[in-house]
Amino acid sequence: MYAGEVAPLTDRVDRVAARLRAPERRIGASIAHLGLAARLWSIALGCAVLTGAVPDLDPGRLCWNPALTTPDDLWLDGVRALPATARSVREAVQYGHLVPLAAALRGPAGIRIAPRLLWGNAGSALAGAVSELVTWGRANGRPDVAVRARALGAELFDHPDLRGSGETRAAGFGRPAGDAPAAEDTGPGPGPGPGPGPGPEPGPTVFRRRSCCLYYRCPQGTLCGDCVFDQPPRRSSPRADSG
């Protein structure tokens, strides 16, 4: 997917663009990227928080079929557990997949899409994964899950590429975050894990990104809940915050 034959990646981009009836190819690239980022963050964070280990998602072990959809498009040829640390999650997802994926989209795939947009997608997907874990923890009497998810999320956002992707604030201040575009599933929800541990449950927060995924430009598209825009702009360009 990231080196050599680029056809599977461009095929996925074109399938997503066609499904959305997107007027620009870069929109399909953005939503395909956002969907894969959400899947990968969810898998790594969910396992880290709920099982105490991170699966090795090395690109050489993770198989991907661009013609399939969630949950059948991704599978591992075996499971190797890594420590449940922010470093392991970052190595597995950010360095192992998101960096080479962005390079492949902007390079061999020949798609004009801003790095700022792609890192905004990554930040939005990460915030969404953390939010789902926090919600699950509260609903299932597991405040330790919320605490651990927030802590890992904060460590992961403390990186130059992700730090500027958006801002997190207490719920009730500003427009709350909403769902990502429906073109790509965000992967399986977290399941049960180890028993409760100590630590206060953090208060609710929302994330607002500093870029736009371009979903609003599709015929049935709208602004996402965490979008940088309050209203859809009249026009955008590859150099704008929207992409």
Main-chain phi, psi angles of 222, to 5 degrees: -135, 175
Q: How many domains does the chain have?
A: 1
pLDDT tens figures, 76-110: 888 899 999 999 999 999 999 999 999 999 999 99
The CA–CA distances, whole Å, from 94 to 7, 37, 57, 156, 206 equal: 22, 9, 11, 9, 22
Containing 207, the helix (H) or strand (E) segment is strand 205-209
Query: For residue 118, is it within any domain?
Result: yes
Query: For residue 238, is it within any domain?
Result: no
- What is the model's pLDDT at position 233? 87
Residue spans of beta strands (DSSP E) within 8-152: 53-55, 62-64, 74-76, 81-83
- What is the model's pLDDT at position 194? 35
- What is the model's pLDDT at position 70? 77
Query: For residue 5, is it within any domain?
Result: no
With vertex at residue 132, the alpha carbon angle to CA 229 and CA 222, rounded to the nearest 5 degrees, is 30
* Pairwise CA distance, residues 201 & 105, whole Å: 39
Query: For residue 186, is it within any domain?
Result: yes
Query: For residue 228, is it within any domain?
Result: no
Structural domain boundaries, residue 161: 12-217
* Pairwise CA distance, residues 28 & 207, whole Å: 23
pTM: 0.83
Tens digit of pLDDT per residue, the chain (243 long)? 676 678 889 999 999 999 999 999 999 999 999 999 999 999 999 999 999 999 999 988 888 888 888 778 888 888 899 999 999 999 999 999 999 999 999 999 999 999 999 999 999 999 999 999 999 999 999 999 999 999 999 999 999 999 999 998 765 434 433 344 433 433 333 333 333 343 555 566 789 999 999 999 999 999 999 999 999 987 655 455 455
Query: For residue 231, is it within any domain?
Result: no
For residue 71, cis peptide bond before it (omega within 30 degrees of 0):
yes
- What is the model's pLDDT at position 178? 39
- What is the model's pLDDT at position 201? 56
- What is the model's pLDDT at position 63? 87
Query: For residue 237, is it within any domain?
Result: no
Query: For residue 21, is it within any domain?
Result: yes
